[in-house]
Amino acid sequence: MIRKSTSKKSTAIKICGLTKISQARSIAEFKINAIGVIGVKNSPRFVPEEECIKIFNEIEKVSSSIEKVLVIANEKLEEVKYINNRSNPPSVIQLHGDESVDFCRELKNEFPTIKLWKAFRLKSINDLENISHYENNIDAILIDAWDDKSLGGTGNRVPIELLINKTFKVPWILAGGIYAGIIPEIFSKLRPDGIDASSRLEISPGIKDIKKVESLVRQIRGQN
């Protein structure tokens, strides 16, 4: 669960882009808050439906409290309906494309029990104004780094100076080039409600270095 931070002790951890069942279990055992699987077909971390369900099943064996996040981009309402009818559906759908405010509103009206997270790629202060239009129709904001060729998983860092003293109505998660070594710098300037890490923890796309994951978790918990 990602909640609004009320103290310095509530930054949640999400590890995204998993592709292996065995790694899902190992990472879930670190007692993190959310695990993400990529459902975007042109991503190097794409996981087909059958494997996604197996990964979610494995996560639940460890803890039912870990959010099972499916990342999609620019899908139609019918596809979300299909996803919601899977044998083990995600607890969170993360929209990582160019979805409109109206689309998010429609999703929330159609599927009120699904948690909806919307990712935004932050390039300039103007992007923050765009984010504010979505806040009444989503459950959390994920702020990722801008890249003109990729929707995410680039390892690029967010210009965090744009986020200093910025507040949102809903919980917000910082992504983009996250690894253990930059957590002290981030936490010296910001206190996001969640931290999302993927590519900087990898051996290759979709294959995590478990020691790097553990180091990140330890660093965040130590800062908390």
Whether 4 maps to a domain, the answer reads: no
Q: What is the pTM of this model?
A: 0.93
| Neighbouring residues of 222: CB distance < 8 A, sequence distance ≥ 6 | none
Q: How many Å apart are CA 182 and CA 160, to the nearest integer?
A: 12
* Domain CATH number, residue 39: 3.20.20.70
Whether 6 maps to a domain, the answer reads: no
Whether 7 maps to a domain, the answer reads: no
Whether 50 maps to a domain, the answer reads: yes
CA distances to 17, 18, 130, 206 from 197, in Å: 9, 11, 24, 12
Determine contact, residues 214/30, Cβ cutoff 8 Å: yes
pLDDT at 14: 98
H or E segment and range at residue 83: helix 77-84
Whether 5 maps to a domain, the answer reads: no
The number of folded domains in the chain is 1
Whether 157 maps to a domain, the answer reads: yes
Whether 175 maps to a domain, the answer reads: yes
Whether 193 maps to a domain, the answer reads: yes
* Range ranked top by mean pLDDT from 123-127, 128-132, 143-147, 205-209: 205-209
Least confident span in 8-22, 44-58, 59-73, 90-104: 8-22
| Neighbouring residues of 181: CB distance < 8 A, sequence distance ≥ 6 | 219
| pLDDT reading at 197 higher than 90 | yes
CA distances to 5, 13, 179, 180 from 218, in Å: 19, 11, 11, 8
H or E segment and range at residue 68: strand 67-72
Categorize the per-residue pLDDT at 147 as very low, low, confident or very high, splitting at 50, 70 and 90. Answer: low
pLDDT at 146: 60
Mean pLDDT on 70-96: 96
Q: How many Å apart are CA 54 and CA 77, to the nearest integer?
A: 24
| pLDDT reading at 149 higher than 70 | no
pLDDT at 138: 97
* Domain with 178 in it: 12-223
Q: How many Å apart are CA 100 and CA 138, to the nearest integer?
A: 11
